[in-house]
Amino acid sequence: MFMRPTFRLVRDNTKIQFMRGRIMGLVVSAILSTASVILFFYPGLNLGIDFSGGIVMEVRTPGPADFGQIRTALAAEHIPEQGVQQFGDPSEVLIRLGAQPSEAAVQQAVTRVRTALEKAVSGVKVLRTDAVGASVSAELFRNGLLALGISLLMILVYIWFRFEWQFAVGAVVTLILDITKAIGFLAITRIEFDLVMVAAILTILGYSTNDKVVVYDRVRENLRKYKTLPLRDLIDLSINETLNRTLGTSMTVFLASLPLALFGGESISGFAWVMLFGIVVGTSSSIFIAAPILLFLGEKRLRRESAPAPAPAVRS
Amino acid sequence: MMYFTPLKTAVILGLCVLGTILCIPNLFPSPAPWLPWRQVHLGLDLRGGSYLLLEVDMKAVVKERLDSMVDGVRQALRPGSIFYQALDAQPDQNRILLKLRDSTKLDAALAAIRPLIAAEGPTGTPEFDLASTPDGTIVLTLSPVALNARARGAVQQSIEIVRRRIDETGVVDPQITQQGETRIVVQLPGISDPNRIKELLGKTAHMTFQLVDETANANAGGTPPPGVDFLPMQDNPGQKIAVRRRIDVDGGDLTDARAGNNPQTGEWVVNFTFNSIGSRRFADVTRTNVNHRFAIVLDGKAISAPVIREPITGGRGQISGSFTAASANDLAVLLRAGALPAPLTVVEERSVGPELGADSIRAGAISLAVGFILVIGFMATFYGLFGWFANVCLVVNLVLMLGIMSLLQATLTLPGMAGILLTLGMAVDANILINERIREEQRLGRPPLSALEHGFTRAYNTIFDSNVAAFLAHVMLFIFGSGPVRGFAVTITVGIATSMFTAWMLTRLLVSHWYVARRPQLLPV
C-alpha cells in the first residue's frame, strides 16, 4: 500500500460528454436557486441573535431540568414558553429572548433572567450568555453582507485579470447560484443563521472558486494546445481530465468537515452541515454550471481570440 | 526543477525546524522571563470568559462640553451687563444659541465671547465656529474637527479609566482595546459572570462638591432659580436638594479613596485625600462657608450634604451616606480610578463558562483527530507513496500553522479549530493537483524525471490561481468579521500560505530525494 495507489476515484481517460447535459444542469440549478430565494423570503432565515439582537442563555441544571419550574419562574420576567427549550443534554436548557427596545433594556433583562433562574433552581450554572443590542446586530449584518459582496467582486476582478472576462463572469454567476442554494438549505433546515454561517458561506465561496479555477485553468491550457477543437468538446475534455482532482479534493474537504458535523458540538455542527452541503453544490456546479456558462459566453469569442490572426492582405 | 542545491535544501528544512521550535512555547509555561515565549492564546469561547462591547456615549460628551461653554458665556457676559432672552445648549445640533435682549450690544457680546473660543481647543484651531445675525442672535457651533478630537480623547480616556477600574477588581490578564471610533472591547478571561464588572463600568463616577442653596425649597417643586439644580438624594430619590451649579471642588483632584469604618458610629464610610489644588480649594470653600451645607454629588445624585462645622485644611475628608461594606468599597474603587468622560453602555455581551469551554475544546480536538485520520487515510489509499509524501507535508503544515499562529500570538477559537481542519482538507488539494498532473504527464509517455518536472511546473500555476481566490475571500472575512469568526479567518489564511509552501517546496524536495535514491523506471502515481 505504500507504493501504488490502491484505488482510483475515476478511471483515466473518461470521455463523459458533460456539455450534453448543460441545459438540464442550468435549468435544475436555476429552479433550485429560485426556490431558495423564495424560501429566503418565506419562511425566511432563522436569524440568530448576532443578526436579530436579543439574548441567548445556555444553562445547566444539577439533574434533569424541570422545564415547568423554569418556565414559571421566567414567565414572571415576560419570557414566553417557547423561549425555554432543551438543548442537547436533558439537563441543559436554552433560554431565548427576542430583541429589546434599547441597549440598556438588554442588559437589565440579562440580570433579571439570571436572578430569576438562580432563585428558582438551586445549583443552576449559566454556561453561556450572549446579549446583542440592536445597533450591533444591524452592524454585524451589514458587515457580513459587505464581506460577501467585496469577496465576490475581488474574485471577479482576479479571474478577469488572470483569464478572460468570460471566465470571470462564469465563475461569479455560478458562485451566486451556489450561495443562494446554501441560503435555501439554511432556510429549510432552520439552522440558525449567525456570524459563523457567514464564515461558512465565505468558505464555500473560497472553496467553490478554487474548484472552478482548476477547471478553467485546464480550459485555458487546452485552448492554447488544441487550436481547432470546438469549444464544446474542449470543455468536455478539460472536465474529464480534471475529474479525478475535482472529486479528490471535494472528498478530502468533505472528510475533513464530516467529523465537525458529527462531533463538533452544537455550536459548530450547523456550520459543518452547511459546509458539507456547500461542497457538494460547489463541486457539481464546477462541472454542470460554470463550464456551460463559459460555453455560452465564449462559443464565438474565446475561439476567435486564440485562433491565429489572419494574414495581412497583400496589396497588389 | 527537481534539483535542490544543498543551501536550498537547508533553507527548506530549516524553515520546518523553525516552525517546530515556534510551537514549543505552547507545550509548557515560560521557564525564564527573558525568553521570548510566544503562545497561541485560547479564545474566550474555549477557556471561558466574558467579552463586552462598550459604547461611549458621545452625546453626553458633546452635551457636557456645550454646558460648560454655556457657563463660560454666562460669566463672560455678566461684567458688561449684557442681558439675553435665551442662552441654550442644543446638543442635537452641536451648538449653543444665544439671543440678546438688546441687539445693539451684539458687538460687545461678540467681543466678550471671542476670547473664550480663542483660548480653547485641543487641535489648535478654534473649537467653536462663531456666527451672528444683526437681530442679536449668536450661534456657537462645535466644529467637526474639534468634535472628532474630543471624541477621540474621550474614548482614549475611557479606555484608561476602564483599565484602572478592572485592574482594581483583580481580573487576571484583561484586554481592553478600542474598536471603531466610539467603542471599547473588554475581554475578561475566566470571568463567566461579568455582572460586577458591568456595574463598575456602568457608572461615570463623576464626583463634585457643591454648596447647597439653603434659600430654595427643592421639594416644593417648580423651576429652580438660575444657577441652581434640584438633585435627587442617592438613598432616597424622592427627596430632592437644591444645589448650586458651581463646582467648588472636583473629584478629579482626589489622590486616594479608601473604604473604612467610622469609629464612633461603626457605619461604612469612604475616606479620601485631595491633591494640593483640591486641598487648597477645599480649605477655601470650607473656611468661607462654615455652618453652611456642602453637597457631595455623584453622577447627578447627592450622596450626602453635611453641614460644615469647621474649615477643613488638611486635604482629607470623609463621605458617609448609608453605605454597606460592598458599596463603600465600590465607591472607593471608582473614585480612585477616576471619572469616565462619558457614560458607557454595554451593546454586546458574550460570556462563556469554563465547563462549556472545556466541552468545546474536547469536541474540537475529537473532530480534529478524526478528520486528520480520514484525510491521511484517503491520501494513502488513492495516491499510494505520493499520498504519503502529501501526508508528511500535511503534518508539517499543521506544525507550521501552529508555529506562525504562535509567532503572531493569534487567538484560537472554536471556529478557528474548524478552520484548521478545513485547511488540512484543502491543503492536500495542492498535492492532489501535483500527483494528478505527474500521472498525466507520465501517461503521455514522458520518462519519470521529465514527468516530475512537467507535473510540478504545470501544477504550480493552477495551485497559485486557485489559492489566491480562496485567500481573498478569507482576508475579507478577517476585515469584516468579529470575535471568534476572525479566529477562523486567521487560521485559514495562515493555512493557505503554509500549504502552498509545503506542497510546492517540501513535496518537491521529498520527491526529488526519493527519486535520486531509487531511480524508478516508472513512477507509482
Residue B218 domain-assigned?
yes
Nearest to A104 among B345, B384, B458 (CB): B345
C-alpha cell, B397: 503544515
CA dist., res. A38 & res. A42, Å (int)? 6
Cα dihedral sign for A18, A19, A20, A25? positive
Of B320, B350, B380, the residue that ends a domain is B350
**Among A281, A287, A295, A268, which Cα is nearest to A197's?**
A268
Residue B155 domain-assigned?
no
C-alpha cell, B79: 461684567
Residue A306's pLDDT band (boundaries 50, 70, 90)? very low
The answer to whether B478 and B415 have CB atoms below 8 angstroms apart is no
Phi, psi dihedral angles at B323 (to 5 degrees): -90, 155
Written as one string, the DSSP assignment of B247-297 is: -SEEGGGEEEEEEEE-TTT--EEEEEEE-HHHHHHHHHHHHHTTTSBEEEE
CA dist., res. B403 & res. B1, Å (int)? 28
Mean pLDDT estimate for chain B? 88
Residue B173 domain-assigned?
no
In 3-state terms, what secondary structure has residue B310? coil
Q: Count the residues in chain B.
A: 525
For chain B, say whether A23 makes contact (Cβ under 8 Å): no
Q: Quick one: pLDDT at residue B163?
A: 92
In this predicted structure, the answer to whether residue B453 has a pLDDT above a threshold of 60 is yes
Phi, psi dihedral angles at B388 (to 5 degrees): -70, -35
Residue linked to cell 438613598: B235
In this predicted structure, the answer to whether residue B146 has a pLDDT above a threshold of 90 is no
**Among B507, B356, B315, which Cα is nearest to B429's?**
B507
In this predicted structure, the answer to whether residue A309 has a pLDDT above a threshold of 50 is no
Chain B CB contacts of A256 under 8 Å are 371, 374-375, 421-422, 424-426
Q: What percent of chain B has pLDDT over 70?
A: 98
Over range B435-462, report the average pLDDT: 91
Cα dihedral sign for A136, A143, A176, A192? negative
Over range A299-304, report the average pLDDT: 67
Residue B128 domain-assigned?
yes
Residue B123's pLDDT band (boundaries 50, 70, 90)? low
Nearest to B363 among A60, A254, A263 (CB): A263
CA dist., res. B512 & res. B12, Å (int)? 13
Nearest to B467 among A159, A210, A265 (CB): A210
| B321 vs B96: which has the higher pLDDT | B96
Adjacent-strand bridge partners of B67: none
- Report pLDDT digits (tens) over B17-75: 999 999 988 888 888 888 888 888 888 889 899 999 999 998 888 888 888 888 888 88
Chain A CB contacts of B462 under 8 Å are 213-214, 217-218
In this predicted structure, the answer to whether residue A313 has a pLDDT above a threshold of 60 is no
For chain B, say whether A255 makes contact (Cβ under 8 Å): yes
Chain A CB contacts of B366 under 8 Å are 259, 263
- Report pLDDT digits (tens) over B428-437: 999 999 999 9
Residue B256 domain-assigned?
yes
Residue B16 domain-assigned?
yes
Q: Do B473 and A202 touch (CB under 8 A)?
A: yes
The answer to whether A65 and A109 have CB atoms below 8 angstroms apart is no
Buried b (16+ CB within 10 A) or exposed e, B368-380: bebbbebbbebbb
CA B158 to chain centre: 10
**Among B219, B220, B215, B225, which Cα is nearest to B238's?**
B219
CA dist., res. B350 & res. B192, Å (int)? 9
β-pairing, B411-412 with B41-42? Answer: parallel
C-alpha cell, A245: 482532482
CA dist., res. B275 & res. A14, Å (int)? 87
- Report pLDDT digits (tens) over B279-292: 998 899 889 988 89
In this predicted structure, the answer to whether residue A199 has a pLDDT above a threshold of 90 is no
Cα dihedral sign for B452, B454, B457, B461? negative
Q: Do B384 and A5 touch (CB under 8 A)?
A: yes
In this predicted structure, the answer to whether residue B126 has a pLDDT above a threshold of 80 is no
Q: For residue B206, what is the DSSP state?
A: -
Q: Quick one: pLDDT at residue B1?
A: 66
Written as one string, the DSSP assignment of B84-144 is: EEEEEEEGGGTEEEEEESSGGGHHHHHHHHHHHHHH--TTSS-SEEEEEETTTEEEEEE-H
**B89 and B103: one domain?**
yes
For chain B, say whether A275 makes contact (Cβ under 8 Å): yes
**B489 and B360: one domain?**
yes
CA dist., res. B380 & res. B431, Å (int)? 12
Task: List all residues 6 or more positions away from A165 whose beta carbon is below 8 Å from its beta carbon.
Answer: none
CA dist., res. B202 & res. B221, Å (int)? 29
- Report pLDDT digits (tens) over A56-115: 999 988 888 888 888 888 887 777 777 888 887 888 888 888 888 888 888 888 888 888
A145 to chain B: closest CA residue: B480
CA dist., res. B142 & res. B127, Å (int)? 6
Phi, psi dihedral angles at B140 (to 5 degrees): -110, 115
For chain A, say whether B349 makes contact (Cβ under 8 Å): yes
* In this structure, CATH architecture of domain A18-47+137-306: Up-down Bundle (1.20)
Residue A131's pLDDT band (boundaries 50, 70, 90)? very high
Of B79, B114, B148, the residue that ends a domain is B148
For chain B, say whether A217 makes contact (Cβ under 8 Å): yes
For chain B, say whether A129 makes contact (Cβ under 8 Å): yes
- What residues make up the domain containing B42? 6-47+353-518
**B208 and B228: one domain?**
yes
Q: Quick one: pLDDT at residue B124?
A: 63
Alpha carbon distance, N-terminus to C-terminus of chain A: 71
Residue B391 domain-assigned?
yes
Over range B6-10, report the average pLDDT: 91
A100 to chain B: closest CA residue: B347
Cα dihedral sign for B488, B183, A46, A34? negative
Work out the minimum CA distance from A86 to partner chain B, whole angstroms: 16
Chain A CB contacts of B432 under 8 Å are 245, 248-249, 252
C-alpha cell, B353: 463558562
For chain B, say whether A112 makes contact (Cβ under 8 Å): no
Q: Quick one: pLDDT at residue A312?
A: 46
CA dist., res. B503 & res. B244, Å (int)? 76
**B416 and B329: one domain?**
no
Please determine whether the domains at A18-47+137-306 and A54-132 fall in the same fold group of CATH: no
CA dist., res. B318 & res. B301, Å (int)? 17
In this predicted structure, the answer to whether residue A280 has a pLDDT above a threshold of 60 is yes
Buried b (16+ CB within 10 A) or exposed e, B123-134: eeebbbbeebee
CATH code: domain of residue B396: 1.20.1640.10
Domain boundaries, chain A: 18-47+137-306, 54-132
Residue B400 domain-assigned?
yes
Work out the minimum CA distance from B179 to partner chain A, whole angstroms: 12
Q: Quick one: pLDDT at residue A310?
A: 45
H or E element at residue B41? strand B41-42
CA dist., res. B201 & res. B212, Å (int)? 29
CA dist., res. B150 & res. B143, Å (int)? 10
For chain A, say whether B383 makes contact (Cβ under 8 Å): yes
Q: Quick one: pLDDT at residue B213?
A: 87
Q: What percent of chain A has pLDDT over 70?
A: 95
The whole model's pTM is what?
Answer: 0.82
Chain B CB contacts of A8 under 8 Å are 382
Adjacent-strand bridge partners of A53: none
Over range B507-511, report the average pLDDT: 93
Whether omega for the bond prior to residue B237 falls within 30 degrees of 0, making it cis, is no
Mean pLDDT estimate for chain A? 87
Cβ neighbours of B457 (radius 10 Å): 12
What is the domain count for chain B?
A: 3
The answer to whether A123 and A61 have CB atoms below 8 angstroms apart is yes
C-alpha cell, B70: 454655556
CA dist., res. B321 & res. A99, Å (int)? 38
Under CATH, which number does the domain A54-132 receive?
3.30.70.3400
- Report pLDDT digits (tens) over B261-307: 888 888 899 999 998 888 998 899 889 988 899 899 988 889 888 88
**B344 and B277: one domain?**
yes
**B135 and B225: one domain?**
no
**B342 and B367: one domain?**
no
Q: Quick one: pLDDT at residue A1?
A: 41
- Report pLDDT digits (tens) over B394-430: 999 999 999 999 998 888 888 888 889 988 888 899 9
Nearest to B422 among A7, A221, A257 (CB): A257
The answer to whether B212 and B190 have CB atoms below 8 angstroms apart is no
Residue A314's pLDDT band (boundaries 50, 70, 90)? very low
CA dist., res. B51 & res. B164, Å (int)? 17
Q: Quick one: pLDDT at residue A221?
A: 92
Q: Do B480 and A129 touch (CB under 8 A)?
A: no
B445: left (phi over 0), alpha (psi -120 to 50) or beta: left
CA dist., res. B126 & res. B142, Å (int)? 9
In this predicted structure, the answer to whether residue B173 has a pLDDT above a threshold of 90 is no
Chain B CB contacts of A264 under 8 Å are 363-364, 367, 418
Buried b (16+ CB within 10 A) or exposed e, B249-286: bbbebbeebebeeeeeeeebbbbbbbeeebbebbbebb
CA dist., res. A280 & res. A153, Å (int)? 23
Cα dihedral sign for B301, B303, B309, B314? negative
Of B312, B331, B350, the residue that ends a domain is B350
CA dist., res. A98 & res. B325, Å (int)? 37
